[in-house]
Homo-oligomer: A and B are copies of this chain.
Amino acid sequence: MSATNGRLAIVGLGPGDAAYLCERARPALAAAEVVIAYAPYCDRVGALLPGIPVEPWPIGAEAERAAGAAARARAGASVAVVSSGDPGVYGMAGLCLEALYELGWDGLRDPEVEIVPGVTAALAAASRLGAPLAVDFACISLSDLLVPWELIERRLEAIGAGDLAVALYNPRSRARPHALDRALTVLRAHRDPATPAALVHDACRPGERVEICELDRLRSEEASMDTLVVIGCSSTRRLGRHLVTLRPRHSRGGGS
Q: Which residues of A does B touch, CB under 8 Å?
A: 14, 18-24, 38, 59-60, 62-63, 66, 83-84, 86-95, 97-98, 101, 105-108, 115-120, 123-124, 126-128, 130-141, 143, 145-148, 151-152, 154-155, 157-159, 161-164, 204, 239-242, 244-256
- List the 3 shortest-distance A-B pairs measured between CB atoms, nearest first: A158-B162, A107-B241, A94-B131
* A93 in complex: contacting residue of B120, B131, B137, CB < 8 Å: B131
With A18-B23, A97-B244 as contacts: A63 and B252 at CB distance below 8 Å:
yes
Other than the known A90-B255, A94-B130, what 4 A-B pairs have Cβ atoms closer than 8 Å? Answer: A20-B22, A88-B132, A91-B134, A138-B139
CB distance from A36 to the nearest CB of B (A): 12
CB distance from A192 to the nearest CB of B (A): 16
28 inter-chain pairs at a CB distance below 8 angstroms, sorted by A residue, are A22-B23, A60-B254, A62-B253, A83-B255, A84-B256, A88-B123, A88-B126, A88-B127, A90-B255, A91-B255, A91-B256, A93-B127, A97-B130, A98-B239, A98-B246, A98-B251, A98-B252, A107-B239, A107-B241, A117-B123, A117-B126, A138-B159, A146-B250, A147-B249, A151-B248, A154-B161, A155-B162, A162-B162
